[in-house]
Amino acid sequence: MSNDTGDEPMPAAVAPGNEPPASPPSKTPMFTAMHAQRYQRQLLIKQLEGETKRKLLCFVSGHAGQVSRDDTAGFVDMLHNVASGEPLDLLLHTPGGDIDAAEKLITLLRTTVGEDGSLRVIVPDFAKSAGTLMALGANSIVMSDSSELGTIDPQIWLKDGKGNDICHSVLNYIDAYDELAAALRSNPNDPVARAMFDKFDPTTLRKFKAVRDRARTFAENQLKRRGANFSKIASELMDTRQFPSHGQMIGWEAAERIGLTIEYMQRTDPVWRRYWELYCHLRLAVSSSDDQKIFESSYVSLVFDS
């Protein structure tokens, strides 16, 4: 029998001792306690998604967590329940890594949102080198006073004559070669220039030029997609005279001046504070190992070693 308000019928009386078993909780108290930090992070992600009306994915690396092909599994998992064409944000923190892997990862995101879709990259701290290349594939880059991008100067490790591993800046190596070649054209008898020039290996030089051209093409292709001045922006990001250090900070003002589409948020902005809080939690989640990386959304939480 139901009442006038349309409520469901009253359940029939159940004899004591014959009550149906209560539904078990989805997580036990101990399991919940063990994963409390993850639940706290995912709650923050859900709150941000509610405010921005955009899906939020997070990719945060430890100090030595390089972008690599192994990251594909983490990105595919984060995209598992993201509908095609849905506006998407990527919170990104990385020191850089493999250019080819970076292209694959940003292509996964761009394919998901679609050609006319909206993809933003949020940089709470830094996205260097290959991370900057990934950010170039976004419609806009969200930055604040703590945010920085980097040059797109690939770094290659080679062994010296004694078997020691030496990190070379591709652009500085090529610049040095060009400067010495110019000096010898001007004065073929310059003994210092000749001695230094003879130390360059033609095979290494050819390899470095190919890597430089690969980075430039990647950057220009990402920028072309949204109608940016791709040639100017790529050239400035590869200008070793303007940015002589590979680790030099390119803050939001410099990025905007170069021609990138920047959404600046003041560090006191409530939404930015939540991004920063989430980032702090994510960094702590990989602090036990410099080469760890975390992939997290409101649905997925994975920690991988590089």
**Is residue 24 predicted with pLDDT exceeding 80?**
no
Q: Check residues 25 and 126 and name the one with the higher pLDDT.
A: 126
Question: In this predicted structure, what is the pLDDT of residue 10?
Answer: 41
Chain centroid to Cα 182, Å, comes to 38
Tell me the C-alpha distance between 242 and 218, whole Å. 21
pLDDT in tens, 151-194: 998 888 888 778 888 888 999 999 999 999 999 999 999 999 99
Q: Is residue 7 scored above 70 in pLDDT? A: no
Q: What is the mean pLDDT of residues 229-248?
A: 91
For the chain, list the domains and their CATH numbers. Answer: 39-150+249-305 (3.90.226), 156-203 (no CATH)
Instruction: Confirm if 179 and 185 have CB atoms less than 8 A apart.
Output: no
* Whole-prediction pTM: 0.86
Indicate if the pLDDT at residue 19 is higher than 90: no
> What's residue 25's pLDDT?
56
User: Is a pLDDT exceeding 80 seen at residue 4?
Assistant: no
Specify the DSSP class assigned to residue 24.
P
Name the residue among 155, 124, 161 with its Cα closest to residue 252. 124
Give every CB contact of residue 299 below 8 A, 6+ residues apart in sequence: 78, 80, 81
Burial profile 164-203: b = 16 or more Cβ within 10 angstroms, e = fewer:
eeeeebbbbbbebbeebeebeeeeeeeeebeebbeeeeee
Distance CA 207, CA 203 (A): 6
Q: Are 157 and 259 in contact (CB under 8 A)?
A: no
Q: Output the pLDDT for position 164.
A: 84
Nearest one of 291, 303, 304, 306 to 64, comparing CA atoms = 291
Average pLDDT value for residue range 124-140: 97
pLDDT at 228: 84
The pLDDT of residue 219 is above 50: yes
Q: What is the pLDDT of residue 300?
A: 94
For residues 200-228, average pLDDT: 92
pLDDT of residue 165: 85
Residue 8 backbone phi and psi in degrees, to 5: -65, 150
Nearest to 47 by CA among 263, 266, 302, 281: 281
d(CA 250, CA 254): 6
- Nearest partner of 96 among 21, 170, 30, judged by Cα: 170
Sign of CA pseudo-dihedral 124, 141, 230, 258: negative
Nearest to 130 by CA among 45, 30, 189, 218: 218
Q: With 70 as the cut, is the pLDDT of residue 14 above it?
A: no
Q: How far apart are CA 238 and CA 152, in angstroms?
A: 6
**pLDDT score of 20 more than 60:** no
What percent of the chain lies above the pLDDT cut of 70? 92
Longest CA–CA separation in the chain, Å = 108
Average pLDDT, the chain: 90
